[in-house]
Amino acid sequence: MKKNCIITGATDGIGKQTALDLAKLGYCIGLVGRDEQKGTLVLDEIERATGNQSLQFFKTDLSNIKSLESLSNELKEKYDSLDILINNAGAYFSEYIQTEAGLEMTFALNHLNYFRLTHLLMDIIKIDQPGRVINVASSAHFSARLDINDIQMSKGYKGWTAYCNSKLMNILFTYEIHKRFKETGITFNALHPGFVDTRFGDNNTGLGKNILSIGKRLIAINVVKGASTNVYLASSDEVKNMSGKYFDKSRSVRSSKVSHSEIYQEKLWSYSEDILNNL
Protein backbone atom coordinates (compact mmCIF):
# COMPACT_ATOMS: atom_id res chain seq x y z
CA MET A 1 0.00 0.00 0.00
CA LYS A 2 1.32 3.45 -0.91
CA LYS A 3 2.21 5.78 1.92
CA ASN A 4 0.46 9.14 2.02
CA CYS A 5 2.69 12.17 2.50
CA ILE A 6 1.82 15.88 2.71
CA ILE A 7 4.56 18.43 2.00
CA THR A 8 4.02 22.15 2.50
CA GLY A 9 5.96 24.66 0.45
CA ALA A 10 6.40 21.92 -2.14
CA THR A 11 6.54 23.88 -5.40
CA ASP A 12 10.13 25.03 -5.06
CA GLY A 13 13.47 24.31 -3.41
CA ILE A 14 13.88 21.44 -0.99
CA GLY A 15 10.11 20.93 -0.73
CA LYS A 16 9.88 20.23 -4.44
CA GLN A 17 12.98 18.00 -4.35
CA THR A 18 11.60 16.09 -1.37
CA ALA A 19 8.36 15.50 -3.28
CA LEU A 20 10.33 14.27 -6.29
CA ASP A 21 12.50 11.90 -4.25
CA LEU A 22 9.55 10.44 -2.33
CA ALA A 23 7.54 10.10 -5.55
CA LYS A 24 10.41 7.98 -6.89
CA LEU A 25 9.90 5.72 -3.87
CA GLY A 26 6.23 5.32 -4.78
CA TYR A 27 4.71 7.58 -2.13
CA CYS A 28 1.32 9.23 -2.66
CA ILE A 29 2.18 12.93 -2.41
CA GLY A 30 0.04 15.95 -1.59
CA LEU A 31 1.89 19.16 -2.42
CA VAL A 32 0.75 22.36 -0.71
CA GLY A 33 1.53 25.82 -2.06
CA ARG A 34 -0.06 29.16 -2.88
CA ASP A 35 0.52 29.32 -6.66
CA GLU A 36 -1.85 26.98 -8.51
CA GLN A 37 -0.21 27.45 -11.91
CA LYS A 38 3.20 26.66 -10.49
CA GLY A 39 1.77 23.72 -8.57
CA THR A 40 0.32 22.22 -11.74
CA LEU A 41 3.64 22.56 -13.52
CA VAL A 42 5.47 20.87 -10.63
CA LEU A 43 2.97 17.99 -10.59
CA ASP A 44 3.53 17.44 -14.31
CA GLU A 45 7.29 17.63 -13.90
CA ILE A 46 7.37 15.09 -11.07
CA GLU A 47 4.99 12.74 -12.86
CA ARG A 48 7.10 12.81 -16.02
CA ALA A 49 10.29 12.22 -14.05
CA THR A 50 8.98 9.39 -11.86
CA GLY A 51 5.94 7.87 -13.56
CA ASN A 52 4.11 8.31 -10.26
CA GLN A 53 0.55 9.49 -10.84
CA SER A 54 -0.46 9.57 -7.18
CA LEU A 55 0.15 13.29 -6.88
CA GLN A 56 -2.15 16.17 -6.05
CA PHE A 57 -1.74 19.90 -5.48
CA PHE A 58 -3.58 21.84 -2.78
CA LYS A 59 -3.68 25.61 -3.11
CA THR A 60 -3.34 27.50 0.18
CA ASP A 61 -1.62 30.61 1.47
CA LEU A 62 -0.08 29.06 4.57
CA SER A 63 0.47 32.45 6.21
CA ASN A 64 -3.33 32.82 6.32
CA ILE A 65 -3.86 30.77 9.46
CA LYS A 66 -7.66 30.88 9.14
CA SER A 67 -7.41 29.13 5.76
CA LEU A 68 -5.71 26.08 7.26
CA GLU A 69 -8.98 24.59 8.43
CA SER A 70 -10.25 24.56 4.84
CA LEU A 71 -6.97 22.97 3.75
CA SER A 72 -7.24 20.27 6.41
CA ASN A 73 -10.80 19.51 5.30
CA GLU A 74 -9.61 19.15 1.69
CA LEU A 75 -6.82 16.84 2.78
CA LYS A 76 -9.19 14.71 4.83
CA GLU A 77 -11.52 14.35 1.85
CA LYS A 78 -8.61 13.05 -0.21
CA TYR A 79 -6.79 10.91 2.38
CA ASP A 80 -8.29 8.59 4.98
CA SER A 81 -4.96 8.59 6.80
CA LEU A 82 -1.55 10.21 6.65
CA ASP A 83 1.78 8.50 7.08
CA ILE A 84 3.92 11.64 6.87
CA LEU A 85 3.45 15.38 7.32
CA ILE A 86 6.42 17.52 6.32
CA ASN A 87 6.07 21.10 7.52
CA ASN A 88 8.50 22.75 5.14
CA ALA A 89 7.00 26.08 4.05
CA GLY A 90 8.85 29.13 5.31
CA ALA A 91 10.48 32.38 4.28
CA TYR A 92 12.69 35.26 5.37
CA PHE A 93 11.22 38.77 5.38
CA SER A 94 13.74 41.59 5.75
CA GLU A 95 10.97 44.14 6.38
CA TYR A 96 8.08 43.94 8.81
CA ILE A 97 4.91 42.61 7.17
CA GLN A 98 1.58 42.03 8.86
CA THR A 99 -0.90 39.37 7.76
CA GLU A 100 -4.60 40.10 7.30
CA ALA A 101 -5.16 38.67 10.78
CA GLY A 102 -2.69 41.16 12.24
CA LEU A 103 0.12 38.68 12.83
CA GLU A 104 3.79 39.29 12.08
CA MET A 105 4.40 37.41 8.82
CA THR A 106 7.50 35.42 9.83
CA PHE A 107 5.79 34.18 12.98
CA ALA A 108 2.59 33.30 11.10
CA LEU A 109 4.16 31.46 8.17
CA ASN A 110 7.23 29.88 9.75
CA HIS A 111 5.77 28.83 13.11
CA LEU A 112 2.03 29.19 13.60
CA ASN A 113 1.36 27.46 10.28
CA TYR A 114 3.31 24.39 11.51
CA PHE A 115 1.54 24.47 14.86
CA ARG A 116 -1.98 24.83 13.46
CA LEU A 117 -1.77 22.44 10.53
CA THR A 118 -0.21 19.69 12.61
CA HIS A 119 -3.01 19.92 15.16
CA LEU A 120 -5.69 19.92 12.48
CA LEU A 121 -4.31 16.76 10.90
CA MET A 122 -3.46 14.82 14.05
CA ASP A 123 -6.65 12.78 13.87
CA ILE A 124 -5.68 11.22 10.52
CA ILE A 125 -1.95 10.77 11.15
CA LYS A 126 -1.48 7.04 11.53
CA ILE A 127 -1.15 5.55 14.97
CA ASP A 128 -1.28 1.81 14.18
CA GLN A 129 1.79 2.14 11.96
CA PRO A 130 2.96 5.36 13.54
CA GLY A 131 2.95 8.43 11.37
CA ARG A 132 5.77 10.92 11.20
CA VAL A 133 5.69 14.70 11.58
CA ILE A 134 8.80 16.39 10.23
CA ASN A 135 9.46 20.07 10.91
CA VAL A 136 12.02 21.80 8.72
CA ALA A 137 13.98 24.13 11.00
CA SER A 138 17.51 25.47 10.51
CA SER A 139 20.86 25.85 12.24
CA ALA A 140 19.95 29.56 12.11
CA HIS A 141 18.15 28.84 15.38
CA PHE A 142 21.54 29.03 17.11
CA SER A 143 21.49 32.78 16.37
CA ALA A 144 17.98 33.32 17.75
CA ARG A 145 17.34 36.11 20.22
CA LEU A 146 13.83 35.14 21.22
CA ASP A 147 12.11 37.32 23.82
CA ILE A 148 9.48 34.93 25.09
CA ASN A 149 7.46 37.95 26.28
CA ASP A 150 7.58 39.63 22.84
CA ILE A 151 7.42 36.70 20.45
CA GLN A 152 6.24 38.76 17.45
CA MET A 153 8.94 41.42 18.00
CA SER A 154 6.56 44.33 18.53
CA LYS A 155 9.33 46.28 20.27
CA GLY A 156 11.59 46.37 17.23
CA TYR A 157 11.59 44.12 14.18
CA LYS A 158 14.78 42.78 12.61
CA GLY A 159 14.20 40.45 9.69
CA TRP A 160 17.07 38.02 10.19
CA THR A 161 16.47 37.81 13.94
CA ALA A 162 12.80 37.11 13.28
CA TYR A 163 13.77 34.30 10.92
CA CYS A 164 16.24 32.78 13.40
CA ASN A 165 13.63 33.06 16.15
CA SER A 166 11.07 31.26 13.98
CA LYS A 167 13.47 28.39 13.39
CA LEU A 168 14.00 28.12 17.14
CA MET A 169 10.21 28.02 17.50
CA ASN A 170 10.11 25.06 15.09
CA ILE A 171 12.36 23.12 17.45
CA LEU A 172 10.63 24.27 20.64
CA PHE A 173 7.34 23.14 19.08
CA THR A 174 8.81 19.79 18.03
CA TYR A 175 10.07 19.02 21.53
CA GLU A 176 6.84 20.12 23.22
CA ILE A 177 4.48 18.22 20.91
CA HIS A 178 6.66 15.13 21.35
CA LYS A 179 6.21 15.38 25.12
CA ARG A 180 2.46 15.89 24.85
CA PHE A 181 1.73 13.20 22.28
CA LYS A 182 4.48 10.61 22.68
CA GLU A 183 1.97 8.04 23.95
CA THR A 184 0.35 8.00 20.50
CA GLY A 185 3.49 6.57 18.92
CA ILE A 186 3.54 9.34 16.32
CA THR A 187 7.07 10.66 15.88
CA PHE A 188 7.95 14.35 15.81
CA ASN A 189 11.37 15.48 14.62
CA ALA A 190 13.00 18.68 13.40
CA LEU A 191 15.93 19.14 11.05
CA HIS A 192 18.47 21.48 9.53
CA PRO A 193 18.52 20.98 5.73
CA GLY A 194 21.77 22.87 5.22
CA PHE A 195 22.34 26.18 3.48
CA VAL A 196 20.73 25.30 0.18
CA ASP A 197 20.90 27.05 -3.18
CA THR A 198 17.20 27.80 -3.63
CA ARG A 199 15.07 30.91 -4.14
CA PHE A 200 15.08 31.44 -0.37
CA GLY A 201 15.23 35.17 0.37
CA ASP A 202 14.59 36.24 -3.23
CA ASN A 203 11.33 37.88 -2.14
CA ASN A 204 13.39 40.62 -0.47
CA THR A 205 15.36 43.57 -1.79
CA GLY A 206 18.49 45.39 -0.71
CA LEU A 207 21.39 44.24 1.45
CA GLY A 208 19.73 41.13 2.90
CA LYS A 209 19.00 39.70 -0.53
CA ASN A 210 22.50 40.56 -1.80
CA ILE A 211 24.23 38.85 1.13
CA LEU A 212 22.15 35.70 0.66
CA SER A 213 22.85 35.69 -3.09
CA ILE A 214 26.60 35.87 -2.52
CA GLY A 215 26.41 33.11 0.09
CA LYS A 216 24.47 30.85 -2.26
CA ARG A 217 27.10 31.25 -4.96
CA LEU A 218 29.99 30.58 -2.59
CA ILE A 219 28.94 27.93 -0.07
CA ALA A 220 25.40 26.68 -0.69
CA ILE A 221 24.68 23.00 -1.33
CA ASN A 222 22.33 21.78 -4.06
CA VAL A 223 18.68 20.90 -3.48
CA VAL A 224 19.29 17.16 -3.68
CA LYS A 225 21.60 17.32 -0.67
CA GLY A 226 19.29 19.83 0.99
CA ALA A 227 16.32 17.49 0.73
CA SER A 228 18.23 14.40 1.83
CA THR A 229 17.48 14.68 5.57
CA ASN A 230 13.78 15.26 4.81
CA VAL A 231 13.74 12.11 2.70
CA TYR A 232 15.67 10.16 5.33
CA LEU A 233 13.27 11.13 8.14
CA ALA A 234 10.26 10.36 5.95
CA SER A 235 11.39 6.98 4.64
CA SER A 236 14.09 5.33 6.74
CA ASP A 237 13.28 2.48 9.11
CA GLU A 238 16.25 3.62 11.20
CA VAL A 239 14.18 6.49 12.63
CA LYS A 240 10.74 4.91 12.81
CA ASN A 241 10.87 4.89 16.63
CA MET A 242 12.89 8.09 17.11
CA SER A 243 11.03 11.19 18.25
CA GLY A 244 11.71 14.57 19.81
CA LYS A 245 15.06 14.90 18.03
CA TYR A 246 16.87 17.46 15.88
CA PHE A 247 18.70 16.17 12.80
CA ASP A 248 21.50 17.49 10.62
CA LYS A 249 22.91 15.50 7.69
CA SER A 250 20.59 12.60 8.60
CA ARG A 251 22.06 12.34 12.11
CA SER A 252 20.54 13.25 15.44
CA VAL A 253 22.53 16.17 16.87
CA ARG A 254 22.23 18.58 19.79
CA SER A 255 20.21 21.71 19.17
CA SER A 256 20.81 24.99 21.02
CA LYS A 257 20.65 25.22 24.79
CA VAL A 258 17.58 27.47 24.79
CA SER A 259 15.68 25.03 22.55
CA HIS A 260 15.72 22.58 25.46
CA SER A 261 14.17 25.08 27.88
CA GLU A 262 10.89 23.61 29.04
CA ILE A 263 9.77 27.08 30.09
CA TYR A 264 10.22 28.36 26.52
CA GLN A 265 8.58 25.27 25.06
CA GLU A 266 5.53 25.60 27.29
CA LYS A 267 5.21 29.39 26.93
CA LEU A 268 5.41 29.22 23.14
CA TRP A 269 2.76 26.48 23.12
CA SER A 270 0.42 28.50 25.36
CA TYR A 271 1.01 31.68 23.38
CA SER A 272 0.26 29.88 20.11
CA GLU A 273 -2.97 28.45 21.52
CA ASP A 274 -4.01 31.90 22.77
CA ILE A 275 -3.41 33.43 19.34
CA LEU A 276 -5.51 30.74 17.66
CA ASN A 277 -8.31 31.11 20.18
CA ASN A 278 -8.52 34.81 19.37
CA LEU A 279 -8.34 34.66 15.59
Active site residues: 163
**Surface-to-core class of residue 80, CB atoms within 10 Å of its CB (0-12 exposed, 13-18 middle, 19+ buried):** exposed
Residue type, 151: I
Q: How much is the CA Rg of the chain, to the nearest whole Å?
A: 17
Angle (CA) 50-42-32 rounded to 5° is 110
CA distances to 143, 199, 206, 246 from 255, rounded to whole Å, are 11, 26, 31, 6
